[in-house]
Amino acid sequence: MKWLVLLGLVVFSDCIVKIPLTRVNIMRKTRSEKYMPNNFLKEHAYSLYLTSSPGSNITTYPLRNIQDIIYVGNITIGTPPQKFQVVFDTGSSDLWVHSVLCSRRRCSSQGLFRHRESSTFRATRRRFSIVYGRGRMNGIVVHDTVRIGDLVSTNQAFGLSMEHSWFEGKPFDGVLGLSYPNISLTGGIPIFDNLKNQGAISEPVFAFYLSKSKPEGSVVLFGGVDKSYYQGALNWVPLTQVGYWHVHMDRISINSRVIACNDGCEAFVDTGTSLILGPGRLIDNILRLIGVTEVNGHRCVSCSVVNTLPSVDFTINGIKYPVPAQAYTIKDSSGNCYIGIRENPVNRSTENWILGDVFLRQYFSVFDRGNDRIGLAQAV
């Protein structure tokens, strides 16, 4: 069973966020299946290597923070290598980049993969299509060598865009998905699985540290965790189903008052979404409690009052994760502070939340494929 989701990109102010458009066939589990206690997880866990250990097999790869909106990193594809700037996205499973096969004139503004210049390129006849909130991307599935720093995935399946809309001028050349294989739209083995299968990483774990208000310092780690990026203990949260990084959330509160997710709800942990997204009626209530006003059609607050605003607390698997106002406000180039908690404009029927970068800047996140769980700890 899995979620079938078509991903969408939407602009809020100058923010780029990705939202699920449709979902089908959600698997419901019993309470005993969904909420495994932490001691069970500890008993069945392997040890996570730390970079402080000599010879530890962890790759730490830098990401660039673009105005607290999106995080990108460089990869190379082909022989000789061609460089691309991609979003490392836990909300999808496929790697795709723009290419010279694109039929639109506006594609020339992107970094384009030139397949004829790679001696390791292999074509297929498979096509794929991804529908977005503001357009569509159609492409073809191909194979080549992909490198993330020193990590090498040979004969990697990925997508080349042949036709797209909306992407022109955006600060990335493609997307590198880090979810499970069963939600792949290209039908290929995702790059993380290939890296593990080919022995490039020793443990099926990756992790994110996302900086705030500075372009440098963010990283994605493959093969383990590094305690220098967080403080305290990692709290483990079991997935409610595999596919997306999907967990159960207990409640959302402000000043100990439950204001959303009263009876529990579902949440995606998604590095490819800029904001925290939820149902519109609940978001409206949260923003009223925060004291948000509307300026030129946008919901914002005066930056001078940010320090007086309350935290929004997300309780997951019995642990409270506060997101203070300094974390959920984003200052734009005009000096306004926008609230990074917004309505999911598509999925209005159920109480599902997306915990994007606004949340993940506060908490170092570990994505444990070996045990189907997520680890969260206070980021340093």
Report, as residue numbers or ranges, the catalytic residues: 89, 270
DSSP per-residue letters across 331-371: E-TTS-EEESEEE-SS--SS-EEEE-HHHHTTEEEEEETTT
Query: What is the full DSSP assignment across 242-297?
Result: TTTTEEEE-EEEETTEEEE-TT-EEEEE-TT-SSEEE-HHHHHHHHHHHT-EEETT
Distances (CA, A) of 279 to 59, 225, 284, 341, 351: 37, 33, 9, 10, 6
Question: Which DSSP category does 4 fall into?
Answer: -
Q: Give the pair of three-digit tokens for residue 237.
A: 């949260």
Q: 3-class DSSP state for residue 36?
A: coil
Residue 150 CA from chain centroid, whole number: 22
How far is Cα 341 from Cα 79, in angstroms, rounded to an integer? 43
DSSP of 200-255: S-SSSEEEEE--SSSSS-EEEEESSB-GGGEEEEEEEEE-SBTTTTEEEE-EEEET
Q: State yes or no: cis peptide before 80, omega within 30 of 0.
A: yes
One-letter identity of residue 12: F
SS3 content of the chain, % helix, strand, coil (to 5): 15, 45, 40
Tokens matching residue 304: 């001078």
Nearest-angstrom CA–CA distance, 175 and 110? 13
Query: 302 to each of 16, 184, 309, 337, how far by Cα in Å?
Result: 22, 42, 11, 6
